[in-house]
Chains A and B, each alone.
Chain A
Amino acid sequence: MKMENMSLSGLDNTKLEALAQDIYSDLVEDACLGLCFEVHRAVKQGYFFLDDTDQESMKDFEIVDQPGVDIFGQVYNQWKNKECVCPNCNRSIAASRFAPHLEKCLGMGRNSSRIANRRIASSNNTNNKSESDQEDNDDVNDNDWSYGSEKKAKKRKSDKNPNSPRRSKSLKHKNGELSSSVNTDPYKYNYNTGINYETLGPDELRSLLTTQCGVISEHTKKMCTRTSLPDSNTAVESDGYDASDGQVLMSRLQWDGSSDISPSDSASSKASTNNSDSKKPKKKKKTSLNSTGGGGGGSGSVGGSSSQGCLAGQANRKKPKLPVPPAPSIYDNLN
């Protein structure tokens, strides 16, 4: 059709506007017609006047515009000063406080049980303490509430059992290939490591230190459980180092005999432990060297003449080649 090809762009603005007006008036007329039909139907069906109220009711519910009164004619604080009698405790309570009082009185509110429990707990504490421990009576009487919280805090602390299985699991993860027995043994020694290195026999020490680092951190008193991983890359730098390392350690142990941790050594051992710990995520050439160096440092902490070894361990990070030659040379005599 011809008409369809004609576009509006052909029209100028006035015509366009006129067109718009026409469309608009058509729409409005449609709306009016719609309304008329609706009303007419409502009239004929009989529901048109249903939403009207009669004149009497209109007067009753008229909007009130007086001061001191709301639009319904009600006074705002009419019940403010009134008092109600509580059916539970038969006390006279102010109206505004009546609801919260009833909540607590009947024991049905959200907080009422909590408060009651707290009161019971504190009264129990005071009763128990005064019976059992006369010395602390004053303290208990002074701070009821804080004592209860203290007790809770203490309880919580003791819950953090150092012997908990969780801790041993983390160690197991670290050591991977190790059997559980080896894991648990060093784990026990984590506390009183200073003493336990002494008590360990040479065989046990050997098995322990060939598999793990063994450096005891001063502040945590824990033994470093890093394994000295056999790394093929390390062969480039020091072929015989790893192989001889275990023997070196053992020989040093046998030679030293004593296993005191002197402060300087323990500090250095801590440093070397830190070194090895920090190097762990980077699996590069130097890690095994560091661990062995740390191991050397660790075993060095066992004996007094280990400072050189510790330094060697620390220097391992930057100049791996330097300490390598001296280490075998020192122990060549021993071997």
Chain B
Amino acid sequence: MNKDSQMRAAINQKLIEMGERERLKELLRAKLVECGWKDQMKAQCKDVIREKGLEHVTVEDLVVEITPKGRALVPDSVKKELLQRIRASLAQHSTL
């Protein structure tokens, strides 16, 4: 198990070095904006803010409330595409 996690870390590191991770992140962001996920999440944020009060809301509040909803609201198509891209990059970088 340790070996695996180590290897994962190593691979992650490699992805970062190749700049692939950055690319993947940008891709995901763009797709989320496109599909309207961002607007949905902003609406959720508004609710949270109104609940907590404008002056006293903290980052932690938002993170705690928003992240699980955000994970759930990602559309399937985006998820599938991103997984595909990740697999492709892994395959590409495994040979290097």
Q: Which residue numbers of A lie inside 8 Å of B, CB to CB?
A: 3-4, 6-9, 11, 15-17, 19-25, 27-37, 39-40, 43, 48-49
Contact = CB atoms under 8 A, between A and B. Distances in A.
A23 B12 contact: yes
A243 to B, nearest CB: 85
A3 B10 contact: yes
B90 A20 contact: yes
Contact of B49 (A17, A23, A37, A43): A43
B59 A40 contact: yes
Contacts of A28: 28, 70-71, 74
Interface in B24-68: 24-25, 28-29, 32, 38, 41-42, 45-46, 49, 54, 57-59, 62-63, 66-67
Contacts of A40: 57-59, 62
A19 B8 contact: yes
Main secondary structure of the interface of B (DSSP, over half): helix
Interface of B: 4, 6-12, 15, 21, 24-25, 28-29, 32, 38, 41-42, 45-46, 49, 54, 57-59, 62-63, 66-67, 70-71, 74, 79, 82-83, 86-87, 90-91, 93-95
24 contacts: A3-B9, A7-B94, A8-B11, A9-B94, A9-B95, A19-B8, A23-B12, A23-B15, A27-B28, A27-B82, A28-B70, A32-B66, A32-B67, A32-B70, A32-B71, A34-B29, A35-B38, A36-B67, A37-B59, A40-B58, A43-B54, A43-B57, A48-B49, A49-B46
A19 B29 contact: no
Contacts of B42: 35, 39
B90 A16 contact: yes
A49 to B, nearest CB: 8
